[in-house]
């Protein structure tokens, strides 16, 4: 029975976990001191030493396997920056080609036009019809009116390819063009740069998704998820800017101002009101009204300021009598 246990012991040692190797070695040691002969003791000690060495190698391999993912993760993260830089360098040639080809350039156009018209309302309606025909749209309409003149303005978006023909046809049905200004802003370089950045971010996103699918540790999952959310947010920002530039380059913005130059003729009165007799009556009535208004004002003044006027009159009379008395005394003295 003792020999069977000793014979099966090496197999137990081979298939046991590394954490129990030391315990098994102690068991072998105990068996060696329970009446086993010297030859068997030596064989058991040798077998135990071999198994200890194998267990140590197995532990090293497991550590190596556990670090394999971390190494792959670090290598992949290190390659992400290189991939982004390489993508940007590869697209630098595309940017140069785009800047050299006029058909592939992206330019944002804006125009400002001032028109002198006889009827602002009808001119605005004609503009709206033309814009709809050209597959554009009106953004804003303003109209104001006063006693002297009327003023109106329209802000619209028109396809860039129709801008030239639209501006040329404005004068034909809207009146005299007082001012016309067209400004273009070339955004080709920015757009190509955004395209390169988007490609690089897409590559990074794919790598992070791959790492996320292979990650097992919680800390790795959290780190990759955080990096992935940052990259996806940057992708959305780049795409939003590209959509804005696409819209601005596909549709030109035109602001038009309308100045009313029509002559306002006052309405003429009837012939019966333009006769001389009527004019005399109107003038006489106006003069009577002026006299009545004057005496009315005088009465209001005298009655309203009577206390002050009475005081001034009293003082004036006293001064007059004193002066007159002195004059008389002077004459008497001279005589």
For 221-269, the pLDDT digits (tens) are: 999 999 999 999 999 999 999 999 999 999 999 999 988 877 555 555 5
pLDDT of residue 188: 94
Instruction: Note whether 179 and 116 are within 8 A (CB).
Output: no
Task: Say if residue 202's pLDDT is above 90.
Answer: yes
pLDDT of residue 275: 66
Task: Name which residue leads in pLDDT, 78 or 223.
Answer: 223
Place of tokens 């009475």: 310
User: What are the backbone dihedrals phi and psi of residue 117, each rounded to the nearest 5 degrees, phi first?
Assistant: -130, 165
Among 133-137, 165-169, 229-233, 255-259, the least confident range: 165-169
Task: Name which residue leads in pLDDT, 176 or 35.
Answer: 176
CB proximity list for 326: less than 8 A, separation 6 or greater: none
CB proximity list for 48: less than 8 A, separation 6 or greater: 13, 24, 25, 28
Domain ranges of the chain: 2-66, 105-264
Task: Say if residue 88's pLDDT is above 60.
Answer: no
Question: What is the tens place of the pLDDT at every residue in 39-69?
Answer: 665 666 666 666 666 655 554 544 444 444 4
Q: What is the mean pLDDT of the chain?
A: 76
Helix or strand (DSSP H, E) at 305: none
> Which of 87-91, 130-134, 198-202 shows the highest mean pLDDT?
198-202
Task: Say if residue 167's pLDDT is above 70.
Answer: yes
Among the listed residues 187, 224, 300, the one whose alpha carbon sits nearest the alpha carbon of residue 69:
224
pLDDT of residue 96: 52
How many CB atoms are located within 10 Å of the residue 150 CB? 17
Task: Name which residue leads in pLDDT, 34 or 133.
Answer: 133
> Which of 22-26, 74-78, 170-174 shows the highest mean pLDDT?
170-174
For 172: left if phi > 0, alpha if psi spans -120 to 50, otherwise beta; the answer is alpha
Is the torsion defined by CA of 47, 49, 53, 56 positive or negative? positive
Task: Name which residue leads in pLDDT, 54 or 273.
Answer: 54
Among 153-162, 181-190, 224-233, 285-294, the least confident range: 285-294
Among 80-84, 207-211, 327-331, the least confident range: 80-84
pLDDT of residue 72: 44
Across 191-200, average pLDDT: 95
Place of tokens 């794919």: 206
Reported as a pLDDT band with limits 50, 70 and 90, residue 326 is: confident
């Amino acid at each position: 029975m003792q020999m069977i246990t000793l014979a099966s012991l090496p197999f137990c040692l081979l298939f046991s976990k590394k954490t129990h190797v030391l315990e098994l070695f102690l068991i072998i040691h105990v068996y060696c001191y329970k009446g086993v002969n010297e030859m068997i003791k030596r064989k058991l000690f040798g077998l135990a030493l071999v198994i200890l060495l194998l267990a140590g190698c197995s532990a090293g391999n497991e550590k190596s396997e556990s670090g394999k993912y971390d190494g792959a993760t670090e290598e992949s993260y290190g390659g992400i920056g290189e991939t982004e830089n390489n993508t940007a360098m590869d697209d630098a040639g595309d940017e140069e080609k785009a800047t050299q080809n006029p058909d592939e350039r992206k330019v944002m156009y804006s125009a400002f036009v001032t028109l002198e018209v006889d009827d602002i309302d009808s001119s605005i309606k004609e503009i709206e019809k033309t814009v709809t025909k050209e597959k554009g749209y009106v953004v804003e309409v303003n109209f104001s009116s006063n006693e002297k003149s009327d003023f109106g303005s329209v802000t619209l978006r028109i396809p860039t390819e129709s801008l030239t023909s639209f501006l040329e046809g404005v004068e034909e049905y809207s009146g005299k063009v007082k001012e016309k200004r067209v400004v273009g802003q070339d955004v080709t370089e920015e757009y190509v740069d955004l395209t390169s950045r988007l490609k690089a971010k897409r590559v990074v996103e794919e790598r992070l998704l791959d790492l996320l699918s292979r990650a097992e540790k919680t800390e790795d999952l959290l780190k990759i998820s955080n990096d992935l959310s940052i990259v996806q947010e940057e992708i959305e920002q780049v795409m939003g800017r590209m959509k804005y530039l696409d819209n601005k380059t596909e549709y030109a913005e035109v602001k038009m101002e309308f100045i009313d130059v029509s002559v306002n003729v006052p309405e003429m009165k009837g012939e019966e009101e333009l006769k001389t007799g009527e004019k005399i009556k109107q003038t006489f009535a106006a003069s009577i009204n002026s006299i009545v208004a004057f005496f009315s004002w005088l009465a209001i003044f005298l009655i309203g300021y009577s206390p002050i006027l009475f005081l001034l009159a009293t003082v004036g009379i006293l001064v007059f009598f004193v002066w007159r008395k002195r004059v008389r005394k002077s004459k008497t003295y001279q005589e």
